[in-house]
Amino acid sequence: MTIARNQSTGKVGEQDVKPNQAETSGIMPQRGDVERRCRASIVSMALMMLVLGLAGCRSLAPSSMMANSLGGVVKGMRQHPDPELVREGSATLLLLIDGLLAKTPDNPDLLLTGAAGYTTYCQAFLTNEEDQPRAALLYERAKANGLRILSQRRAFAAALGAGQDTFEDALQHFTRSDVPAIYWTAAAWLGSILSQPDSMRALAELPKALALMKRVLELNETYEHGSAHLAMGIYYAVQPPGAGRDLDRSGKHFNRARDLAGPARLSPAVLLAEFYATAAGDTQLFLRTLTAVTETNINELPNDDALANSVAQRRAQWLLDNRGDYFLELDDDTGDDQ
C-alpha cells in the first residue's frame, strides 16, 4: 500500500512523486518518450495477440486459460523495473480483464486478477492528491471484483450488509486458501476509503475492511511478504492522538512486515519512515531510513518486486526533498548531515 498524508488538509490521502517537468512541458516528444511509447504499444499489441490467440483455443476452457495467462502478465508487471513503461502498457491489460469478465462475470481467477491488477495500478500510479477521484473509482472496481469472489460463500454474502459482529463471524468460514482473495479485497477496500477522505459513507466501511485485513493476518501473515502488517502499521500510525493512535502496535506491525519482506524489498522501510517516524516525531529514523533506501542500488536486488522497489525509491527521495513538510526543524535543512 502507498498511502500519504495530504499536507494542505492534514487528512490521510495519497501522494507520490510528480512527473518530471522537463519530460512533460516540451512540445516535441523527446527520444526517450518516443521509445517508451513504442515499447508500450508493443506490450499492448502483445497482450491483444495473447487474448485473441487464447480465444481461438477450443480444447481447453478459454476463460480459465486467459485468467491464468493474464495473472502471469500482472505478475510480470510487478517485476518490471520501468514504472513508465508499465503504466503506459497496463491500461490495455486492465481493459482486457474487464472485457473477459463481461463474458464470464463469476470466474474466480479472472476476478482475482482484476482485483490485484487494478489495486496494483492504483498503488503504483494514482498517488497524487489530484488522482484521488480516479483512484477511488478504480479501487472500487477492484473491491467489487474481490467482493464478488468472497460472496460466492453464502455466509459471507449474507453478512456483507449486516452488522460488524455478523460480518466478522462470517469471516471465520474462510481458510488459508482464501487469503489471496481476502487480501486483495481488503487492500482495494482500504485504498478506496483512503481515496475518499471526505466521504462519511466510505469511512463507515472502515471496520469491515480492517476486519478482512486482520483475517489475512490470522490465516497467513506472510502473504505478499507481510503486506497486511504494513496496512495495520499505517492504520495505527495515522489515527488521531487519543482517538485510536497506537504507536506501539504500529511499530510492531512495521517491524514484523520488514522481517517478512526482507532487505530486498524497500517499500516497508519507506512506509515506516513516512507514517511511523512522522507520527512519532523521530527525525533521525526518518532521515536514516529514507537515505538508506535512496542509496540502495535496486539493480542488484531480485527483480520479483522491481516495480515496487523503483516506486519506493522515488517516494523516498520525494520525502527527503519535502522533509520540512513533516518536521518543522528540517524545513531549511540541506540534508548534508544525514
Q: Which of 165, 191, 218 is the last residue of a domain?
A: 218
> 84 with 43: CB under 8 angstroms?
no
Q: C-alpha 221: how far from its chain's center?
A: 17
Give the C-alpha separation, 48 to 143, whole Å. Answer: 25
Shared domain check, 243 and 211? no
Q: List phi, psi (to 5°) of 56.
A: -85, -5
Handedness of CA 73, 297, 226, 284 (dihedral sign): negative
Shared domain check, 252 and 176? no
The whole-number pLDDT of residue 44 equals: 44
Shared domain check, 226 and 190? no
Nearest to 32 by CA among 40, 254, 333: 40
Shared domain check, 187 and 82? yes
Q: What is the CATH number of the domain that holds 248?
A: 1.25.40.920
Q: C-alpha 8: how far from its chain's center?
A: 23
Q: Which of 163, 194, 218 is the last residue of a domain?
A: 218
Shared domain check, 239 and 100? no
**Domain count of the fold of the chain:** 2
The average pLDDT across 190-214 equals 95
Q: C-alpha 121: how far from its chain's center?
A: 7
Q: Which of 187, 218, 249 is the last residue of a domain?
A: 218
The whole-number pLDDT of residue 20 equals: 43
Instruction: Tell me the per-residue pLDDT of 95-117, one tens digit each, with 9 for 90 and over.
Output: 888 988 998 999 999 999 899 98
Residue 96 lies inside a defined structural domain of this protein: yes
The whole-number pLDDT of residue 168 equals: 98
pLDDT at 178 over 50: yes
Instruction: Tell me the per-residue pLDDT of 271-304, one tens digit each, with 9 for 90 and over.
Output: 999 999 999 999 999 999 999 999 999 999 988 8
Residue 6 lies inside a defined structural domain of this protein: no
pLDDT at 49 over 90: no
Name which residue leads in pLDDT, 303 or 258: 258
pLDDT band at 64 (very low <50, low <70, confident <90, very high): low
The average pLDDT across 235-256 equals 94
Give the C-alpha separation, 122 to 9, whole Å. Answer: 21
DSSP for 173-226, written as a single string: T--GGGHHHHHHHHHHHHHHHHT-TT-HHHHHTHHHHHHHHHHHHHHHTTGGGG
Q: Identify the domain containing residue 253 by its residue range.
A: 221-338
> 265 with 227: CB under 8 angstroms?
no
Compute CA distances 102 → 96, 98, 110, whole Å.
Answer: 10, 6, 10
Give the C-alpha separation, 113 to 225, whole Å. Answer: 18
